[in-house]
Structure 1
């Protein structure tokens, strides 16, 4: 199948949209571009493409390749929510049911618990500024998304792709239509350690706040093409991580993300 975007192409597409908006319209244009979801949709497409490369039929991907809708709106314990990227279960048909537990009791689940639990769901997010300031709120939201689905569907396989810049765009010069970066490195070590703590949920009877697999995309947008970090040594070499740090990106890298998701799914539900 053609048009299967790579993660490098996705990140470079993200970079081009952000930087073009700054050059053409300053900070307001950049903020409008982010709100449009066009940049993050590149990452959505890379996730879908990688599942397809691994043998998933395109008709099981939601939203379809190249589209941002329709998303599956899955019901958890607390809320029903549109999911960023889903892989629907082969051989299962949605079976509407009235929920009997949780806050959504008596609400209609249009897919049913069995179908939902066998659906792979991947959240995709980015945080491009104020990395340290907004961390607590964003991290709590990330944990809550996993808990919402795992409490109701313990065996459900969840993934998270979270992208942050290792150097933030400099907002102080954006209204001069200048693309520039803040020299000080963001909270790289803190993000790695925090996402390590919610990665790798192998026992589905425990730790509902965890994801079966997290991918932390650490990107240097100052470089062209943008540099994606996949190993601790790369981070150490570029002065982004101390050699003595106990943080490790090895199990959070993109390269094994979809493989790990599919392997975990096969362990729980079969191939």
Structure 2
């Protein structure tokens, strides 16, 4: 099992080693391989296990990237990044009767799906401002897909972005440099605040029960993980008078909040 700090440092090492050895093409190939982001998957699984979840309930298993649970929502069936399956429930295949997937086979069944915790894990390492709208819309759509069909389902989102992007021009020469211009840090905080904390399962299906926004300074060694407004303000990443707030998006309470919400919904 690994900590989130170890996972982020492993991510940094893989990215930077690929840049030194092969420049920008090697870095892009490394990201496509999913090896860097799989470290964050392992940190999420590890934290669930440290919080008392039995290993046999974690999908994919610790240390593996397969098999994933392919859960059916209102619009599509999709492999989920990390799931915690419900204790005492057995998947029961059923024919779906509504939505775009009408008459498709759900191999787990609605009851099992609704009692499964699902956590999406994503990262965006470049063009943070340029690609924001598309990425944000996709994030919302993932929550809606499952919540429309399974309103009580507990969903988490771990989203990692750098506070300083790697310099693409320097990568051409196999060099590791960072763009001094700070990307859309405050915009990301406010935007993920808006879809965080779905406590009432009868409404706001576009929200996640808990979002973790991992803001990372990869220029530092070890990589610095920001968990509070104070650190961000001190490092000049957000204005001291901002109404953006990291307190409910930090890693430290992510797993606890997910499990507490699950216990409230399902009484276990």
Q: TM-score range by the shorter chain?
A: over 0.9
In the alignment, the residues of structure 2 paired with residue 151 and residue 14 of structure 1 have an alpha-carbon distance, to the nearest angstrom, of: 34
Residue 232 (1) aligns with residue 229 (2): yes
In the alignment, the residues of structure 1 paired with residue 237 and residue 28 of structure 2 have an alpha-carbon distance, to the nearest angstrom, of: 27
Partner residue in 2 for 1:83:
80
In the alignment, the residues of structure 2 paired with residue 132 and residue 231 of structure 1 have an alpha-carbon distance, to the nearest angstrom, of: 22
In the alignment, the residues of structure 1 paired with residue 43 and residue 267 of structure 2 have an alpha-carbon distance, to the nearest angstrom, of: 25
Question: What's the offset of the Cα at 1:175?
Answer: 1.5
Residue 33 (1) aligns with residue 12 (2): no
1:61 to 58, 62, 72: 58
Partner residue in 1 for 2:239:
242
1:129 to 126, 131, 136: 126
In the alignment, the residues of structure 2 paired with residue 19 and residue 175 of structure 1 have an alpha-carbon distance, to the nearest angstrom, of: 13
1:219 to 212, 216, 220: 216
**Unaligned segments of structure 2, at least 5 residues:** none
1:182 to 179, 191, 199: 179
Residue 108 (1) aligns with residue 105 (2): yes
**Unaligned segments of structure 1, at least 5 residues:** none
> What's the TM-score, normalizing by structure 2?
1.00
- 1:182-214: CA deviation from partner (whole Å, max 9, x where unpaired): 001110000000000000000000000000000
Question: What's the offset of the Cα at 1:270?
Answer: 1.5
Question: What's the offset of the Cα at 1:126?
Answer: 0.1
In the alignment, the residues of structure 2 paired with residue 226 and residue 179 of structure 1 have an alpha-carbon distance, to the nearest angstrom, of: 14
Partner residue in 1 for 2:265:
268
In the alignment, the residues of structure 2 paired with residue 88 and residue 248 of structure 1 have an alpha-carbon distance, to the nearest angstrom, of: 32
Moved over 2 A (4+): none
**CA RMSD, aligned part only?**
0.3
Question: How many residues are matched?
Answer: 268
